A and B are shown apart, each in its own frame.
Chain A
């Protein structure tokens, strides 16, 4: 099936640990994005990448890191520097260019315990 796959769906992290969320797409999209959503809130952009080996910070990049070594993959690492990491994380991808739609994965729930 074509689409965007995020894993794991649910993840628990102890304070002080780094955790990596996976995002894979087989839609041949150039651009990929990570958003964070807190309960009852909208989406805030963490990082985005328009092309392999290049990425830019979004509005709330502090405490997060990404890589884009392959076109189809855009993993997000939530580091111990992120003070309030409990949230719903959404990965998205889309064709290159601002005139296009972006498509979302099913999200990953991260809880710090």
Chain B
């Protein structure tokens, strides 16, 4: 399977702290994408990082990609209660399928 695998499965942090989650995958990719899902809702796209990029930022989000280790990380800085959600990495290679991992559930405590 080409699926990304997120780690940890669950994360609980205090508001204001940083949250870091990791994604590992198995084969060469075209790009890697991170999505957020609030309970019972659709997925919202956060960041796309291409295989020739090493780091991208978007607001309080920072994504890194290490293709030699086949891994990516998502950092959420200064977390807020509204960041409580599940976060998924998705990998895409030569065809058009986007494969998802099982996600990391983040709980931000007030």
A98 near B: Cβ within 8 Å? Answer: yes
A57→B31 CA distance, assembly (Å): 22
Contacts of A107 in B (CB 8 A): 40-42
Picked from A43, A48, A88, A101, the residue with its CB within 8 Å of the CB of B33 is: A101
- For the residues of A in contact with B, the DSSP-based class is strand
Contacts of B33 in A (CB 8 A): 101
Q: List 20 A-B contacts (CB under 8 A).
A: A31-B96, A42-B3, A42-B102, A43-B43, A43-B88, A45-B98, A50-B96, A88-B40, A90-B43, A98-B94, A99-B30, A99-B31, A99-B50, A101-B45, A101-B48, A103-B45, A104-B42, A104-B45, A107-B40, A109-B40
Taken residue by residue from 32 to 43, chain A's Cβ proximity to chain B (1 for < 8 Å, 0 otherwise) reads as 010100001111
Picked from A58, A103, A106, the residue with its CB within 8 Å of the CB of B97 is: A58
Taken residue by residue from 85 to 110, chain B's Cβ proximity to chain A (1 for < 8 Å, 0 otherwise) reads as 00010001111111111110000000
Taken residue by residue from 63 to 76, chain A's Cβ proximity to chain B (1 for < 8 Å, 0 otherwise) reads as 00000000000000
Contacts of A101 in B (CB 8 A): 33, 45, 48
Contact B100 A90 (CB under 8 A): no
Q: B2: nearest residue on chain A (CB-CB)?
A: A59
Interface residues on B, range: 20 to 34
B81 near A: Cβ within 8 Å? Answer: no
Interface centre among A31, A44, A58, A102 (most CB of B within 10 A): A102
Contact B31 A98 (CB under 8 A): yes
A109→B41 CA distance, assembly (Å): 10
Contacts of B93 in A (CB 8 A): 98
Contact A105 B99 (CB under 8 A): no
